[in-house]
Structure 1
Amino acid sequence: MKQFQSWYENHHQYCKDWKARTGGKIVGYMCTYVPEEILYAAGILPTRVLGSHEPHDVTEPHIFGMYCPFCRDVLAQGLKKRYDYIDGLTISQSCLHIRQAFTSWQMHLPLEWSYYLPMPHHVQSPRAVPFLREELVSFKKSVEEWTGKEITDEALDHAIDVYNTNRRLMRQIYELRKAENPPITGLEAMYMVVSSQFVDKADHNKELERVLQNIDGRLADREVGTRLMIIGSENDDVAFMSMAESVGATFVTDDHCTGSRYFWNEAPQDADRLNALAIRYVERPRCPTKDWPERSRIPHLLSMAKEWGVEGVILIQQKFCDPHELDIPAIKKAFEEIDIPTLFLEFDVTTPVGPFRIRVEAFLEMIRGEDLF
């Protein structure tokens, strides 16, 4: 699993090397509802714009301090020119905070191309798929006009196949985490999924296939401890994951956009390729901005917890994240009704590892029924 960690830790260098090797364009995206397949079909490398978990020092003139730390961290990366290799930037309709980061980036940073995709929030509507399908027509046309290259059905077929293969392979590895002794840790799973959001999927698929061929018996002697699930806001906080798994626990599954929600479902076969993509993105496990009027997330989360043998849930919220702040009480109640305890933690740009360690240790001791005093 070391290659995924290396890609994660050398995110920017990988993208720069890819660009030098291929001569292709790179587009940053700020939400995982962006239809990457269309970009990939045009020979573009989509790369997720993430933060760096450093204290903020440049964003205050551009974005409210009460906006979530993740969106401010993302904007800071642009203002500090950490993504100076990207040629374009896009976002699909998401929460207000990350949309502000996108708009500020558009205003203050040089971009060859940018695009705001009106992804429907009301994905439970019968009109969601046809609406998104027509928006994808406009998105595809804009990419073609910018690149001067037609995106053919054959190119879309190839892109969909590459992306579906990536999703299928990561699902297979996640299935292995149901085992009594999971062959990978939650931290390693995070490295795997987050790296897939900027590495060329063809490269990532080869590594996933290699891992699956060699994973039998891996970590058989590791103490699993308490089986945890992590749910909530965007999270690529490896310091937290490492800490939690060092005190007697293993994250066996997750639900966040840098985890399972990113790859869980595939695009179906459809002669209308854009319709297939619209179905895939509308039907994927929902972000709380789109999970209404019915809470479809909760049955999905409870089902995952049962299948993966979860003993406790850590609910995380990026500070000031309104959608997850609204979502978490209902999720907490649903888990506690089936006697799975939960721990709520509020994340900021940097992780207070020491205080969080105390709370996680107490949570694990409670689950194990140990005497705290």
Structure 2
Amino acid sequence: MQKFQEWFENRHEYAKEWKQRTGGKVIGYFCTYVPEEILYAAGVLPVRILGSHEPQDVTEPHIFGMFCPFCRDCLAQGLKGRFDYLDGITIAQSCLHIRQAYTSWDLHRPREFSYYLPMPHHVQSKRAYPFLRSELAAFKEAVEKWTGKTISDADLDRGIEIMNTSRRLMREVYELRKRENPPLTGLEAMYLVLSGQMVDKREHNAYLEQKLKELSERQPDRQTGERLMILGSEDDDTAFMAMAESLGTTFVVDDHCTGSRYFWNRVEPQEDRLMAIAARYIDRPACPTKDWPERSRLPHILKLAKEWNVQGAIVMQQKFCDPHELDIPAIRKYLEENGVPTLFLEFDVTVPIGQFRIRVEAFLEMLRQEDLF
């Protein structure tokens, strides 16, 4: 599993080497509603733009200080030139904060290509499908113009197959985490999914295919302890995951756009490839910006908790993250009413590991006392 961690930690070096090796273009995307199928069909490497979890002082002139730390951290990476190898940037409409990060990046560190994709918020409307299908056609045309390559149905089929293979393999890994003694930790699973957002999925898929048999036979060298779920805002905080699991617990499942929400459903075949892709993104487990008027996430999250035999859930929110801040009270109430205790934590660019350790320890102590009685 070390390879996935190395890919994630050396993601900039990987992308630069990929460009040199293939002569292809690399595009950075800010949101997982961006249809990577179309980018792979065009021979473009999509890489997720994430922060570095370091204090920074470069974003204040460009973005409000009360915008979430994740979007400010992402923008800082662009302003500091850490993604200067990108040929393009793109975003699908998600929240106002990350949209501002994209806009400021585009203004102050412009690339040869940029594209804003109007992903519908009202995904529960039947009109969302034809609307997104038409927007995907416009996106495909823009990518064709940028790359000088016509994207055929065969190209789209290839892009869909690359993405669906990745989703299938990651679902198989997550199935292994249902075991009484999961063969991988939550931290290892986080590296697995994050690296899949950074490197060429054909390479990632091939390596993961090899590792699956090894994983299925792997005997963990640690006690599982309490089985936890983590959910909420974007989360790539590996230091927090390592700290929490060092206390004798294991994250067995998640609901994050850097986790299961990213790969949960696949593109189902249709004659109209763009409509098939549109349906996949409309039907995926929703981000809270799109989970209305019905809260479709609640039964999905509870199903994950039940099927993965979760004993408690850590519900985290990036500070000032308005969509999740509105969502979290309903999620906590729903989980607790259904027998899943929760702990709420508010994350910032840098997480106060010492303070959070005390709170996680207290939460685990509570769970252990409940087991005693």
Q: Same fold (TM over 0.5)?
A: yes
Residue identity opposite 2:331 in structure 1: I
Deviation string, structure 1 residues 329-368 (Cα, Å, up to 9, x no partner): 0000001101211000000000100000000000000001
CA contact (8 A) 2:176 2:216 kept: no
Residue identity opposite 1:101 in structure 2: A
Residue identity opposite 1:356 in structure 2: F
CA shift, 1:216, in A, is: 2.9
1:331: which partner in 2?
331
Residue identity opposite 2:21 in structure 1: R
Q: Partners in 2 of 1:221 and 1:119 — Cα distance?
A: 44
TM-score, normalised to structure 1, is 0.98
1:74: which partner in 2?
74
1:47: which partner in 2?
47
- SS, match of residue 216 in structure 2: coil
Q: Partners in 2 of 1:288 and 1:247 — Cα distance?
A: 30
1:297: which partner in 2?
297
Residue identity opposite 1:210 in structure 2: Q
Q: Partners in 2 of 1:44 and 1:38 — Cα distance?
A: 9
- Residue pairs, 1:241-256, within 5 angstroms: 241-256=241-256
Q: Partners in 2 of 1:15 and 1:50 — Cα distance?
A: 14
Q: Partners in 1 of 2:220 and 2:196 — Cα distance?
A: 26
- SS, match of residue 184 in structure 2: coil
Residue identity opposite 1:330 in structure 2: A
Q: Any runs of at least 4 consecutive aligned residues in structure 1 with deviations exceeding 4 A, and if so which?
A: none
CA shift, 1:219, in A, is: 3.5
1:356: which partner in 2?
356
Q: RMSD value over aligned CA atoms? A: 1.0
CA contact (8 A) 2:91 2:115 kept: yes
- SS, match of residue 269 in structure 1: coil
Q: Partners in 2 of 1:215 and 1:288 — Cα distance?
A: 33
1:115 maps onto 2:115 in alignment: yes
Q: Partners in 2 of 1:227 and 1:141 — Cα distance?
A: 46
- Residue pairs, 1:16-95, within 5 angstroms: 16-95=16-95
CA contact (8 A) 2:32 2:257 kept: yes
- SS, match of residue 91 in structure 1: strand
Q: Which runs of 5+ in 1 are unaligned?
A: none
- Residue pairs, 1:204-223, within 5 angstroms: 204-223=204-223
Q: Partners in 2 of 1:76 and 1:285 — Cα distance?
A: 29
Q: Partners in 1 of 2:130 and 2:76 — Cα distance?
A: 36
CA shift, 1:370, in A, is: 7.4
Residue identity opposite 2:340 in structure 1: I
CA shift, 1:220, in A, is: 3.4
Q: Partners in 2 of 1:261 and 1:63 — Cα distance?
A: 27
2:275: which partner in 1?
275
CA shift, 1:208, in A, is: 1.0
1:141: which partner in 2?
141
Question: Residues 219 and 350 (structure 1 numbering): CA distance in 2 closer, same or farther, change over 3 Å?
Answer: farther
CA shift, 1:210, in A, is: 1.0
Residue identity opposite 1:218 in structure 2: R
Deviation string, structure 1 residues 5-44 (Cα, Å, up to 9, x no partner): 0101101011011001000000000000000110111110
Aligned length: 371
CA shift, 1:110, in A, is: 2.6
1:130: which partner in 2?
130
- SS, match of residue 313 in structure 1: strand
1:321: which partner in 2?
321
CA contact (8 A) 2:184 2:220 kept: no
Deviation string, structure 1 residues 214-262 (Cα, Å, up to 9, x no partner): 1133233420000000000000000000000000110000001000000
Q: Partners in 2 of 1:94 and 1:300 — Cα distance?
A: 20
Residue identity opposite 2:121 in structure 1: H
Q: Partners in 1 of 2:286 and 2:102 — Cα distance?
A: 21
1:285 maps onto 2:282 in alignment: no
- SS, match of residue 290 in structure 1: coil
Q: Partners in 1 of 2:320 and 2:124 — Cα distance?
A: 26
CA contact (8 A) 2:123 2:290 kept: yes
1:266: which partner in 2?
266
1:368: which partner in 2?
368
Residue identity opposite 1:45 in structure 2: L
2:183: which partner in 1?
183
- SS, match of residue 320 in structure 2: coil
Q: Partners in 2 of 1:351 and 1:210 — Cα distance?
A: 35
CA contact (8 A) 2:226 2:248 kept: yes
Q: Partners in 2 of 1:301 and 1:126 — Cα distance?
A: 23
Residue identity opposite 2:228 in structure 1: L
- SS, match of residue 358 in structure 1: helix
2:166: which partner in 1?
166
- SS, match of residue 317 in structure 2: strand
CA shift, 1:213, in A, is: 1.7
- Residue pairs, 1:150-165, within 5 angstroms: 150-165=150-165
Report sequence identity in percent: 70
Q: Partners in 2 of 1:25 and 1:142 — Cα distance?
A: 14
1:105: which partner in 2?
105
CA shift, 1:128, in A, is: 0.5
